[in-house]
Structure 1
Amino acid sequence: MITPTGNTAEFLLSEAHGERSRALFTLPAGQGYLRPGTFLDSSGNVATSSEDVAGLLYGGVDTGSDNAGSDVKATVIDSDAEVHGELLQWAEDDTDVIKTAFASALNAIGIRVRWTVRPTGLETDQTEAEAEPPSGGGGG
């Protein structure tokens, strides 16, 4: 099993040239520390429903624990990219049904999710091919 470590963009397999796949989001204060690969809605909050998914947090961001704090700007992958499904920020109790719904939502905005082990029920045309786990290290 692959365990996400929270390194910046370790979930990212490929993206469009010229930062076309990235956007700058404003994250509301009070959400705590958000790890890379966290699902976000268009308001910069953690997406709680697959219908709300607008992108994936590129790098870890501490929004603080106080709602009265300042909002934080962060880079988000919002289109034209491929990501490694197992390295996204899933809750321990997320089922294959939830993973399928969120992967489908990402696919709808132009982010392909690749898997080492595809969740049960995920259509093959949403991912095309299974991903090899990232080898880590170097270039980037």
Structure 2
Amino acid sequence: MTVLVETRHPGEFILSEANGHRSREAVTIASGAGIIAAGTVLGRITASGRYAASAVGASDGSQVPAAIAIHGADASAASATVSAIVRDAEVNGKCLTYHADRDQPAEKAAANAGLAILGVIVR
């Protein structure tokens, strides 16, 4: 019997957001960032202004959570532009995806606190 695995749906994590989609912006995922799933917590790379999954061990600025990808993208070989939640929203924390090195509850809580500074509240 074939086993099917359903992945995250675009925007599945959004509970509420500001009127007029003011919570959203188009962001560019840096080339080489790999496959970004819908709901991935992103950090902004200071030098380029592009985004990657927010990793605890990063030192390029992306360690600071700055957005959540609404749609998935493959930025393995080339940059990709996606819509992202960047402010004034409530999201379901159980539907978020974190970088693999952000695997401890305290690290995820720190990422959620960083998002709260932007007005993105993780429930």
TM-score, normalising length from structure 1? 0.69
RMSD (Å), alpha carbons = 2.0
Once the two structures are overlaid, the 10-residue window that deviates more, 84-93 or 34-43, is 84-93
Aligned to 1:101, which of 103, 107, 110?
A: 110
Question: Which residue is equivalent to 1:129?
Answer: none
Question: Which residue is equivalent to 1:6?
Answer: 8
Alpha carbons 2:89, 2:119 under 8 Å: kept? yes
Question: Which residue is equivalent to 1:112?
Answer: 121
Once the two structures are TM-superposed, the CA of residue 62 in structure 1 deviates from its matched residue by 1.2
| Stretches of 4+ aligned residues off by more than 4 angstroms | none
Alpha carbons 2:64, 2:111 under 8 Å: kept? no
Secondary structure of the equivalent of 1:107?
helix
Question: Which residue is equivalent to 2:27?
Answer: 25
Q: Quote the sequence identity (%).
A: 34
Question: Which residue is equivalent to 2:59?
Answer: none
Q: Pick 1 or 2: higher relative contact order, CA cutoff 8 A, min separation 6.
A: 2
Aligned to 1:76, which of 75, 78, 84?
A: 84
Distance 1:86 1:94 in 2: 14
Structure 1 gap segments, 5+ residues each: 115-140
Structure 2 gap segments, 5+ residues each: 1-5, 45-49, 57-61
Distance 2:80 2:75 in 1: 6
Kindly indicate whether residue 46 of structure 2 is the aligned counterpart of residue 44 of structure 1: no
TM-score, normalising length from structure 2? 0.78
Question: Which residue is equivalent to 2:75?
Answer: 63
Secondary structure of the equivalent of 1:41?
strand
Alpha carbons 1:51, 1:105 under 8 Å: kept? no
What are the superposed Cα offsets for residues 101-127 of structure 1, whole Å, 9 maximum, x if unpaired? 01111111100111xxxxxxxxxxxxx
Secondary structure of the equivalent of 2:116?
helix
- What code does the residue aligned with 1:95 have? Q
What are the superposed Cα offsets for residues 3-30 of structure 1, whole Å, 9 maximum, x if unpaired? x832101111111111100011111112
Distance 2:63 2:36 in 1: 20
